[in-house]
Chains A and B, each alone.
Chain A
Amino acid sequence: MKILRVENLTKRFGGLYAVNNLSFSLKKGEILSIIGPNGSGKTTLFNLITGIYPPTEGKIFLKDDDITGLRPDKIAHKGIKRTFQTLRVFPNMTILENVLVGMHPIIEENIFNSIFHPPIMKRQQKEATEKAISILSFFGTRLTGTRLHHPANSLSYANRRRLEICRALASDPKVLLLDEPAAGMNPKESLEIMDQIKQIRDKGYSIILIEHDMKVVKGASNRVIALDYGEKIAEGTPKEVSEHPRVIEAYLGKKVAKNA
């Protein structure tokens, strides 16, 4: 079953086509990886799906629901959540509070309750806290224990990435978008996080994973799409894509240019 569908999506910044006539779909319960050299439009694609930018052309559907051009908060409520390559935790809020904010789409609370805290809300808050802790304990003790009440800016970058994943998961999203979750991690940590992302998929989540390193996604993805200059240059199994001549060219081209 297709949970997310993107049709002829284009985003132009001035004369630059950051995403160019891109179509693909995400099946329920799979990991779809988006690879491509830096600047190939991967993050822009996420910004389009989550409503941060309106697309220049094209449509985005969540199941059969047209979500093109909706505001980011509406899209979050519809069930698409993401992490950020540039790390956007709430730095001075505690780790627990960060996850509670992530849970907002599924917390029912009116202004009266916010102000007067009736007993029903106390119970609700307790449940929310318990749920947040259980989500955070997915990463062992890295984010739990006394750390729960530490501000997010006391965390290492790797732990901030883990926190962003927990924050995104907190509202049980239908689609989870992960933007380079392994960036800045050492090879061992990368391997570990890829394994954990697979575990998240096995719980039933549908995931789009951005990574610029083909090697990292190989083991984790069901399917891979390669982008270059905003265009899809290859799609298929990890093996097919990694052997695709245009993918090799895109990456080798980069390397040659780098070495020169």
Chain B
Amino acid sequence: MIIMKKNDPTLGEKTKIIFMKIPTKAYIVITILIAILYPLLIMYGTAGQLWLRLAVRTEILVLLALGLNLIIGDTGLLNLGYAAFFAVGAYLTAIFASPRFGFDLPFWILFLASGVTAGFFGFLVGLPTLKLRGDYLAIVTLALGESTRLTLNNWDYLTNGPGGIPGIYHPSFFGYPIDSYVKFYYLTLIIILISIVVLNNLKNSKLGRSLNAMRENEIAAECMGIDTTKAKILSFVISSVFAGLAGSIFASFQTFINPTNFVFMISTMIVCMVVLGGMGSIPGVIVGAIVLDTLPEIIRQTFSVWLPSVFGSDFYANWPHILKDLFINFDRYRMLFFGILIVLVILLKPEGLIPNKRRQKELRETDPREISESEKTLFDVEEGKMDVKV
């Protein structure tokens, strides 16, 4: 019989320790390498093209999740209409680089202009609404998202309504066209890497600290000289810029957009990515976006294509109808899958898959040596009295 000593680390703990010993830099380098090599691994064959296309879509979602994280994770405000800013960027690019009005402006100008326009849109929306708190802001942004989509749907002259804008040109840089999935993949990867650097700088800046301080204690933040309304608007604008940039890539990648690309579901999905991955954590939201966008696709491929092709097309013949339907038409159950995944994360790992260091520390308890005897008995806070603003 094996008697385990109490302080022997279990296998799980051992692997955890091994993982913890790897320095952060190594993780970053490995991740970037994988990201660079990924197309080379899957590029060949028709299935490869499909996965590559999916990868570009995932990249665009990563960009969106990174941008939304600034609002949800760092600033602690909910934006349920993020797809509206995505739409502004996409439509701006579509209108000025398609046969619709005969414009063909250079992509890099449109890319920047999409970011700026979405940012300005964010400013206009943020100015009156960011004085609202939590729930109200969520409702207002939700309404904004829907009304933006409806406007796009009905403004026939500009957007061609539900018909959408076809024939959007691919980008080209000084005559070098970005016209294949691989090229799009690398273009978007470069943009993501720059975004990560920018967002990381922001975290370690006066503005980044202001946002965090405001989220943690708004009154104290104000008394430290932080103009909370200004900081909120700034973070809202920067976050909108990211959505606009992502929209611009999306439009030129898809070559065709219409209002159904910007439904409420897209906004919710990006929120889910941020929550699943870990609010406030850059690696977290990247993983969140990758998992939520690719996992359903992997499951779908496995059950609807791969299994039947290996075991014959009558593989599901004797299965109960409901399971058969679930596996063959997994696409239809995607939302159910999201719901279950989010509920599981909230129950089992509320801080997300790769938590923000700060939030993780939140779970660590006060060091007992830190509390002297006297404090245990004498300390008496008047909790909450100052929370009421008159």
Interface pair A92/B362, CB less than 8 Å apart: yes
Residues in A with CB closer than 8 Å to B382 are 85-86
Residues 369-388 of B, flagged 1 when their CB comes within 8 A of A and 0 if not, give: 01111110011111111100
Is residue B361 within 8 Å, beta carbon to beta carbon, of the partner chain?
A: yes
Please count how many residues in chain B sit with their CB below 8 Å of the partner chain's CB atoms: 49
Residues 207-225 of B, flagged 1 when their CB comes within 8 A of A and 0 if not, give: 1111011001101111111
Name which of B50-58, B131-139, B198-206 contacts chain A. Answer: B198-206
Distance of B293 from chain A, by nearest CB (Å): 27
Known contacts: A72-B223, A92-B359, A109-B205. The answer to whether A184 contacts B366 by CB under 8 A is: no
Interface pair A101/B210, CB less than 8 Å apart: yes
Known contacts: A114-B202, A151-B358, A183-B379. The answer to whether A50 contacts B223 by CB under 8 A is: yes
Is residue A162 within 8 Å, beta carbon to beta carbon, of the partner chain?
A: no
Interface pair B385/A86, CB less than 8 Å apart: yes
Residues in A with CB closer than 8 Å to B207 are 109, 111, 114
Is residue B367 within 8 Å, beta carbon to beta carbon, of the partner chain?
A: yes
Interface size class of A (residues with CB under 8 A): 35 or more
Interface centre among A92, A93, A183, by most chain B C-beta atoms within 10 angstroms, is A92
Q: How far is the CA of A105 from the CA of B202 in the complex (A)?
A: 18
For B205, give the chain A residue with the smallest CB separation. Answer: A114
Distance of B55 from chain A, by nearest CB (Å): 27
Distance of A69 from chain B, by nearest CB (Å): 13
Partner of A154, one of B228, B361, B379: B361
Residues in A with CB closer than 8 Å to B208 are 114
Interface pair A86/B383, CB less than 8 Å apart: yes
Interface pair A82/B374, CB less than 8 Å apart: no
Partner of A90, one of B220, B375, B378: B220
Residues in A with CB closer than 8 Å to B219 are 52, 72, 88
Residues in B with CB closer than 8 Å to A50 are 223
Partner of B213, one of A52, A85, A90, A105: A90
Partner of B362, one of A82, A97, A151: A151
Interface pair B205/A77, CB less than 8 Å apart: no
Distance of B326 from chain A, by nearest CB (Å): 41
Q: How far is the CA of A7 from the CA of B362 in the complex (A)?
A: 43
For B362, give the chain A residue with the smallest CB separation. Answer: A92
Residues in B with CB closer than 8 Å to A77 are 225
A-B contact pairs, 18 of them (CB 8 A): A52-B219, A71-B222, A73-B223, A73-B227, A81-B223, A84-B220, A85-B382, A86-B383, A92-B216, A92-B362, A102-B224, A105-B225, A113-B205, A114-B202, A121-B205, A125-B204, A158-B372, A186-B374
Please give me the 7 A-B residue pairs with the lowest Cβ-Cβ distance, nearest first. A186-B374, A184-B379, A76-B225, A114-B205, A88-B220, A72-B222, A156-B370
Task: Give chain A's interface residues, CB within 8 Å of chain B.
Answer: 13, 43, 47, 50, 52-53, 71-73, 75-77, 81-82, 84-93, 97, 100-102, 104-105, 107, 109, 111, 113-117, 121, 125, 150-151, 153-159, 167, 171, 183-186, 189
